[in-house]
Amino acid sequence: MGAFAGAGPGAIVSAAVRPQLSGFPPVLAPDATVLVLGSFPGVASLNMGQYYAHPRNQFWRLLGACLDVEALHQMPYEERLRVAIRHRVGIWDVVATCRRQGSLDAAVTKAEVNPLAAYLKEHAPRLERIGFNGGLSWKLGHHLADYGYRVFRLASSSPAAAMYSFEQKLEQWRPLFACRS
């Protein structure tokens, strides 16, 4: 740790002074009909450069069950992305940049939201349904219903959402994928 400019001699930079973190670009093909929006990548995801990289995050298991793709979560990452695209499912996050210590959404500060409506209109014209993976993504993005999308609030796939079993989460996730065109 070093001195913080303007804080006086011997001052220590606190943990609150963190760099602005940047998320990932969308995984989204022009023919996508479903989009799952998370909040912001966790530490494991940022370190690996992969969406939902934490081994206890249930995203890939949930997506595999919804798409009827057995063992999707066990496939190499690039293959998982290809499967999602082949099934016309996009993956992105509501938050473009933020400050955060750890991986919890509750620790997100200085959040800058992605230009969701404009980007989706231009790059995913067939998009119909958007699922919000967790509370923060819902809070910051549910206004997309105003643009004609059907929106779904999903139980978080995060290991922090341990109050829901996998089966309970899956019950909330299935309707997002039930009527894909």
Residue 62, token pair as written in the block? 């949930």
Rounded to 10 deg, the angle between the 77-86 and 59-67 helix axes is 40
Residue in 47, 57, 114, 133 annotated catalytic? 57
User: Active site includes 57?
Assistant: yes
Q: Indicate the burial class of 142 (C-beta count within 10 angstroms; 0-12, 13-18, 19 or more).
A: middle
Structure letter (DSSP) for residue 39: S
Query: What positions carry a catalytic annotation?
Result: 57
